[in-house]
């Protein structure tokens, strides 16, 4: 495998797309490639120092004439500078808007012909793709990229439906760093959270946006809790939090729900959990499902977006229709009250991650695409 100089642009501080981009950059660096992040700030997951990872920060001019600071122009300019100064071999941008368009402009400004890989992550298509002020720019970004990937077949198909681009889109799934997400004994943390060692735990991790339907998670927990002694961990924060706090209060569940806020390392919380709940109405992939499964936690998710590509019913969890909290609670009670079944699903979850979504496999897929670009005529 030839060593490459790879530029990566992503949203550095929020969301699954930034996590995937940063983890990918770290793994590429560990394989000996030189990685250049071109972002508005240092990616938050880039905690360790790597000799072959460089961070190029975009400075945005805030001159008073501008009603809106021209971030996109500044990003394109920085991309063009880095292409020239660092002699990049290729660019990999995550999230279509504005990153794909900025990469194309930056390449043009640098008078370069390096390849551009664009990865679509979800809301860049499923939410922004129906906005008439962005749709044509998204199509342009996709069509002018050299290679386009989507994080699930579902997102690929939705992109064709919504944007109708004349471009082949390849699926490359999400992955996790198995060194961080793996089964570990975290009983001490469980006791510190006031949960008995033998008490069952459900977990939900998200940015508490409307699409995550956290109210359905709480409703499912409430129904299951009527039949089985258990606790719910809510990790993350976002616009719906106030509503969720009120819902928990109204249901009289304050003593049984732990609000843990935004956390960097969530592996320990998965390691004290028995079931992961993700009841979203849109989810291109659901990276948090993989994080849970890699810790041996089976999942209950909605039959939407990329989730059916990950959740195999009765193997690593269960699927329910959107909003069907009765069925979700039924599955949860069955899982929590049948030790052998829960153990089988735990093993199934671990096997799914290592067989189908192992980081080494996904990394190879991306490297294969990069090589295609480097070796084209
Ligand atoms: O909405 C989010 O969850 C954040 C968003 C992002 O772009 O940062 O996540 C999307 O990308 C993740 C990584 O590829 C996927 O695992 C998520 O499913 C996807 N979110 C949605 O489609 C809602």
| Nearest-angstrom CA–CA distance, 78 and 332 | 49
Tell me: pLDDT of 5 over 90: yes
| 174 CA: nearest ligand 1 atom | 14
What pLDDT, on the 0 to 100 scale, is given for residue 48? 78
Q: Where are the beta strands (DSSP E) in 164-229?
A: 169-171, 200-205
pLDDT band at 77 (very low <50, low <70, confident <90, very high): very high
Whether ligand 1 lies within 6 angstroms of the CB of 175 is answered as no
Tens-place pLDDT, residues 276-293: 999 999 999 999 999 999
Angle at 127 between CA 169 and CA 171, to 5 degrees: 20
Q: Is the CB of 285 under 6 A from ligand 1?
A: yes
User: Exposed e or buried b for every residue in 207-238, given b needs 16+ CB within 10 A?
Assistant: bbbebbbbbbbbbbbbbbbeeeebbbbbbbee
pLDDT in tens, 151-195: 999 999 999 999 999 999 999 999 999 999 999 998 899 999 999
Report how far residue 17's alpha carbon sits from residue 174's, in angstroms, rounded to the nearest whole number: 9
| Run of H or E residues at 148 | strand 147-150
Residue 352: is its pLDDT beyond 80? Answer: yes
- Looking at residue 13, what is its pLDDT? 77
3-state secondary structure of 177: coil
For residue 169, the model assigns a pLDDT of 98
pLDDT at position 268, please?
Answer: 96
CATH level 2 (architecture), domain 5-175+358-374: 3-Layer(aba) Sandwich (3.40)
Among 251, 266, 261, residue whose Cα is nearest residue 218 = 251
What is the share, in percent, of the chain residues with pLDDT greater than 90? 91
Query: What's the burial of 74, exposed, middle or buried (CB within 10 Å: 0-12/13-18/19+)?
Result: middle
Q: Is the CB of 20 under 6 A from ligand 1?
A: yes
Domain 187-356: CATH superfamily, name plus number? Glycogen Phosphorylase B; (3.40.50.2000)
> What was the pLDDT predicted at 248?
98
Residue 63, pLDDT above cutoff 90: no
The DSSP code sequence of 10-76 is: --SSSHHHHHHHHHHHHHHHHTT-EEEEEESS--TT--S--TTEEEEEPP----TT-SS--HHHHHH
- Read off the pLDDT of each residue in 293-305 and give the average, rounded to a whole number: 98
Query: 3-state class of 243 per DSSP?
Result: helix
Q: Which residues contact 106 (CB under 8 A, 6 or more apart)?
A: 75, 76, 77, 78, 79, 80, 83, 91
pTM of the model: 0.95
Q: What is the pLDDT of residues 110-153, one digit of tens each?
A: 999 999 999 999 999 998 998 999 999 999 999 999 999 999 99
What number is the average pLDDT over the span 227-251?
A: 97
Confirm or reject: Cβ of 302 under 6 Å from ligand 1.
no
Which DSSP category does 204 fall into?
Answer: E
Ligand 1 neighbourhood includes 12 CB (under 6 angstroms): no
Kind and range of the H or E run holding 9: strand 5-9
d(CA 192, CA 320): 33
pLDDT, average across residues 260-283:
95
pLDDT of residue 349: 98
**Residue of minimum CA distance from atom 9 in ligand 1:** 16
Band the pLDDT of 377: cuts 50, 70, 90: low
Quick one: which atom of ligand 1 is closest to the CA of 94?
7
Where in the chain are the domains? Answer: 5-175+358-374, 187-356
Mean pLDDT of 8-35: 94
**Residue 377 CA, ligand 1 centroid: distance in Å:** 34
pLDDT at 71 over 70: yes
User: 129 in ligand 1 pocket by Cβ < 6 Å?
Assistant: no
Which residues, other chains included, contact 31 with Cβ-Cβ below 8 Å and sequence gap of 6+? 1, 363, 367
128 lines ligand 1 (CB under 6 A): no
Give nearest CA residue, ligand 1 atom 2. Answer: 15
CATH fold match for the domains 5-175+358-374 and 187-356: yes
Label residue 49 by pLDDT band (50, 70, 90): confident
14 pLDDT more than 90: no
CA torsion 363-368-373-376 (nearest 10°) is: 170
Q: What integer pLDDT is reported at residue 3 of this predicted model?
A: 94
Cα separation of 89 and 152, whole Å?
Answer: 26
Q: What pLDDT does residue 314 have?
A: 97
**ipTM of this complex:** 0.95
- Taking Cα atoms as reference points, which of 284, 282, 301 lies closest to residue 292? 301
pLDDT at 46: 79
Continuous H helices in 267-313: 267-270, 287-294, 307-310
């Amino acid at each position: 495998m030839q060593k490459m100089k790879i530029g990566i642009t992503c949203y550095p501080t929020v969301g699954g797309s930034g996590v995937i981009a940063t983890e990918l950059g770290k793994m590429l660096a560990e394989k000996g490639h030189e990685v250049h992040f071109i972002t508005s700030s240092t990616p938050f997951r880039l905690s360790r120092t790597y000799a072959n990872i460089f961070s190029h920060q975009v400075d945005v001019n805030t001159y008073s004439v501008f009603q809106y600071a021209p971030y996109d122009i500044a990003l394109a300019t920085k991309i063009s500078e880095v292409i020239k100064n660092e002699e990049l071999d290729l660019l990999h941008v995550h999230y279509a808007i504005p990153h794909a368009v900025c990469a194309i402009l930056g390449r043009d400004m640098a008078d370069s012909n390096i390849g551009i890989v664009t990865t679509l992550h979800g809301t860049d298509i499923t939410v922004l793709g129906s906005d008439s002020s962005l749709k044509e720019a998204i199509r342009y970004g996709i069509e002018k990229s050299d290679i386009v990937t989507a994080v699930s077949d579902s997102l690929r198909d939705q992109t064709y439906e919504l944007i109708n681009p004349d471009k082949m889109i390849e699926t490359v799934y999400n992955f996790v760093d198995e060194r961080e997400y793996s089964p570990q004994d975290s009983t001490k943390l469980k006791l510190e959270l006031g949960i008995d060692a033998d008490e069952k735990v459900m977990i939900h991790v998200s940015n508490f946006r409307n699409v995550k339907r956290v109210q359905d998670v709480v409703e499912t927990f409430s129904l299951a809790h009527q039949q089985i002694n258990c606790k719910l961990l809510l990790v993350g924060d976002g616009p719906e939090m106030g509503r969720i706090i009120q819902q928990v209060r109204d249901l009289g569940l304050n003593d049984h729900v732990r609000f843990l806020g935004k956390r960097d390392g969530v592996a320990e919380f998965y390691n004290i959990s028995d079931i992961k709940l993700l009841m979203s109405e849109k989810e291109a992939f659901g990276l948090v499902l993989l994080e849970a499964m890699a810790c041996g936690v089976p999942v209950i998710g909605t039959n939407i977006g990329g989730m059916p590509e990950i959740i195999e019913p009765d193997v690593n969890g269960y699927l329910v229709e959107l909003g069907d909290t009765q069925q979700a609670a039924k599955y949860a009670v069955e899982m929590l009250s049948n030790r052998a079944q829960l153990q089988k699903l735990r093993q199934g979850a671990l096997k799914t991650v290592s067989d189908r979504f192992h980081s080494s496999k996904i990394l190879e897929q991306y490297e294969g695409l990069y090589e295609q670009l480097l070796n084209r005529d």
